[in-house]
Amino acid sequence: MEINTQQKQEFESKHFDSLRRLVTKHTGIKLADSKVEMVYRRFAPRIKKLGLDDFGEYCKILKSDDYEEITRFSNIITTNHTSFFRENHHFEYLSNTRLPELKKKKSKSRRIRIWSAGCSSGEEAYSIAMVLLESIPDIDCWDVKILATDINTDCLKKCEQAIYSGKSLENISRLRLKRWFQCEEKNGRIRAQVRPELQSLITFKALNLMEEWPFSGQFDVILCRNVMIYFDKTTQKKLIDKFSRHQKTGDTLIIGHSENISMISDDYSICGQTTYCRN
């Protein structure tokens, strides 16, 4: 959607601040001043679809705590870029270091819990599932579960559909594609459906990390990658404190390539590339 200078100035002076405050309130995401145009472009089609006169009316609906509209609003503003085996060193760490460790440590209980927090359209959770199945050949004798959560309900529909194509498949080896997906090729484009063995390991759920979490369980590994970059330091710290309450000494927290928690938490020590151990 095109935006001319006059529209931009009017939006910036009248509505941008209210809208970005609502974004922070409902998602934790902090928008810089430079995001004026991005915010206008993302929300203008929704305002048109609702038949509203301007952004002011849209803010009023959001302030009335209209749950459905707030869900759509969160879906529109979140950035969901992801792919299979993104930052592959984390999956190598899981398969070469962490899972062998857990197999020894948990040889009695045989219980492993992993959380993909901010899973977007599911590629991260399915990549973890592949590594688990490859690393634990007798997984049927284990109690292994992956919880995968995101605030974006459109993304969660994609997770459940489990059909992927294009760029998100770029980092998957041919061997893995053949083993873990049912592939069709149409006009040179691959359409890959995740096999049920992978799906059965994962529970996808809508969860806003800013709200109360409806579970009390502990996680051997939490991946929260490329999510905290959108939050300010105070919100990041609160989130890390919450993760810490769901982990025990020695558990693993994996974050994204441009994130760093060393300065905001004493609960974790670095033990790999953007990989932390709970103290």
Question: Which residues participate in catalysis according to the annotation?
Answer: 42, 150
Residue 208 touching ligand SAM (CB under 6 A): yes
Question: Does the footprint of ligand SAM cover residue 136 (CB under 6 A)?
Answer: no
Cα–Cα dist 22/13, whole Å: 16
Give the nearer residue to ligand SAM in terms of CB position, either 11 or 230: 230
Structure tokens at 185: 């090729």
Q: Binding to ligand SAM by residue 209, rule CB under 6 A? A: yes
Paired tokens of 272: 């790999």
Give the span between the Cα atoms of 212 and 199, in whole angstroms. 26
- Contacting ligand SAM (CB under 6 A), which of 16, 82, 159, 243? 82
CA distances from 17 to 20, 84, 236 (A): 5, 36, 22
**81 touches ligand SAM by CB under 6 A:** yes
| Residue 190 interacting with ligand SAM (CB under 6 A) | no
Residue 231's φ and ψ, nearest 5 degrees, are -105, 160
- Dihedral sign (CA 39, 52, 74, 129): negative
Tell me the closest approach of the beta carbon of residue 176 to ligand SAM, in angstroms. 17
Reference 11, options 52, 49, 44; nearest CA is: 44
Which one of residues 124, 220, 251, 267 is an interface residue with ligand SAM (CB under 6 A)? Answer: 124
Q: Give yes or no for residue 167 binding ligand SAM (CB under 6 A).
A: no
In this chain, which of 102, 131, 148, 151 binds ligand SAM, going by CB under 6 A?
Answer: 151
Contact pattern from residue 228 through residue 267 relative to ligand SAM, giving x for each residue in contact according to CB under 6 A and a dash for the rest: --x-------------------------x-----------
Eight-class DSSP state of 34: G
Q: E strands along the chain, which residues?
A: 111-117, 143-150, 163-165, 181-186, 189-194, 202-206, 221-224, 252-255, 268-272, 275-278
Question: Taking CB under 6 A as the rule, does residue 23 contact ligand SAM?
Answer: no
How far apart are the C-alpha atoms of 129 and 144, rounded to whole Å? 10
Q: Is position 120 an interface residue for ligand SAM (rule: CB under 6 A)?
A: yes
Q: Which stretch binds ligand SAM (CB under 6 A): 23-31, 37-45, 137-145, 171-179?
A: 23-31
Per CB under 6 A, the segment of 9-17, 30-38, 192-200, 221-229 that binds ligand SAM is 221-229
**Contact footprint for ligand SAM (CB under 6 A):** 27-29, 78-82, 86, 118, 120, 124, 150-152, 155, 207-210, 225-227, 230, 256
